[in-house]
Amino acid sequence: MIRAKHIMSKKLLTVTEGTNIRHVMKLLSENRVTGLPVVSEDMSLLGIVTEKDILEVLLYGKDIKSKTAGDLMATDIVSFEEDEDLMTIFRTLVEGNFRRVPILSDGKLMGIISRTDIINFLAEKSNEIA
């Protein structure tokens, strides 16, 4: 059985609650990602701030200059433990229309699994079979 820890991205790009939204936007753009985990100093997951969160603030004309990741982050996060079966995560990404899910160990962020990570994994496996 393939577990989350086998394919999760371990190179984590994170922000803290106090990170200014302009810096968050820069990180999203420079790293070509659509969302960033918001963590505490001990890597406890607090939320996720996404490009959609930022666009919604801009759309409704709110002042973004003084906003922080903590102001915009979603806190009702679907996450999985690192021993979770990949098929459960796959199903959640599709049915929940998520782009990524955090992978935790005892509440601490250990990695991320995105749709791209699963596609890359499946592509590698199909090469092994051929």
pLDDT of residue 86: 93
Task: Read off the CATH number of the domain in which 91 is found.
Answer: 3.10.580.10
Instruction: Tell me the pTM.
Output: 0.88
pLDDT digit string, tens, across residues 69-121 = 999 999 999 999 999 999 999 999 999 988 899 999 999 999 999 999 999 88
User: Which of 73, 102, 76 lies closest to 89, judged by CA?
Assistant: 102
Cα separation, 108 vs 92, whole angstroms: 20
Nearest-angstrom CA–CA distance, 130 and 127: 5
Q: Is the pLDDT of residue 40 over 90?
A: yes
31 lies in which domain range? Answer: 4-129
The number of folded domains in the chain is 1
Determine the residue type at 124.
E
In this predicted structure, what is the pLDDT of residue 129?
55
Alpha helices in the chain (DSSP H): 4-7, 21-31, 51-59, 69-72, 86-95, 115-129
In angstroms, the CA 90 to CA 47 distance is 21
Gap between the Cα atoms of 82 and 109, Å rounded: 10
Q: Using CB atoms within 10 A of its CB, is residue 45 exposed (0-12), middle (13-18) or buried (19+)?
A: buried
pLDDT band of 128, cuts 50, 70, 90: low
- pLDDT top residue among 60 and 24: 24
Report pLDDT for 59.
83
Measured at the alpha carbon of residue 47, what is the angle toward residues 107 and 7, in degrees to the nearest 5? 60
State the pLDDT at residue 63: 77
Q: How many residues does the chain have?
A: 130
Predicted local distance difference test score (pLDDT) of residue 49: 96
Residue 124's pLDDT is 84
Strand pairing partners for 36? 49
Tokens of 58: 């801009």
